[in-house]
Amino acid sequence: MLRLTKKADYGLMALKYLAEQAVAAAEHPESVPAHAQSAKDIAEAYHIPPQLLAKILQTLARAGILVSHAGTNGGYSLARSATEITAFEVIRAIDGPLFITSCITIHGTCDLAGHCTIKEPLRKVNDSIKDLLSGIRISDLVDPADAHQDAHAAVAGGLVSIGL
């Protein structure tokens, strides 16, 4: 089975949290302030190690997926709408290129490329996974019920698991 790394899982969870906060702020501006969310608040909501989450959020900000806001009310917000950010984009920013086997790498093919009989089927699997993750938007991860909860209450859970 293919599994996301903990970092990728935490990154998707953080973006889900930020998207929910944006929805709640848009729907209830009188009770939920529309400002950046701190790494500490996100870490507490999902029981994620704060230092690890801070590094993940910095990586996502460098990739242009998040915007980092400095200052007293600083924190992070989505750089674009949750409908425009894909799970694949987030995973690639955190973990690098997606390759399910060592025969398909960023450096080219392996030593057995000329004799390999499974390269093409595995490439198709790799492409299918990429297409599937590219079709999942952060907005798809948002549960409308979660977006209506208090800004500091969130429901944790795994987001993506692919069984082969």
What is the residue-averaged pLDDT of the chain?
A: 81
What residue has token string 């990739």? 63
Instruction: Give the pLDDT band (50/70/90) at residue 113.
Output: low
Please state the φ and ψ torsions of residue 17, each to the nearest 5 degrees: -60, -50
Alpha-carbon distance 22 to 61, whole Å?
Answer: 17
Mean pLDDT of 36-57: 95
Taking domain 2-96+138-157, whether its CATH number is 1.10.3720.10 is answered by no
Residue 101: count other Cβ atoms within 10 Å of its Cβ.
14
C-beta separation of 57 from 39 below 8 A: yes
Phi, psi for residue 147 in degrees, rounded to 5: -65, -20
Six token digits for residue 3:
């599994």
What phi, psi does 8 have (nearest 5°)? -65, -40
Sketch the domain layout of the chain as residue ranges.
2-96+138-157
Q: Quick check: pTM over 0.75?
A: yes
Q: Is the pLDDT of residue 148 over 70?
A: no
Q: Is the pLDDT of residue 78 over 80?
A: yes
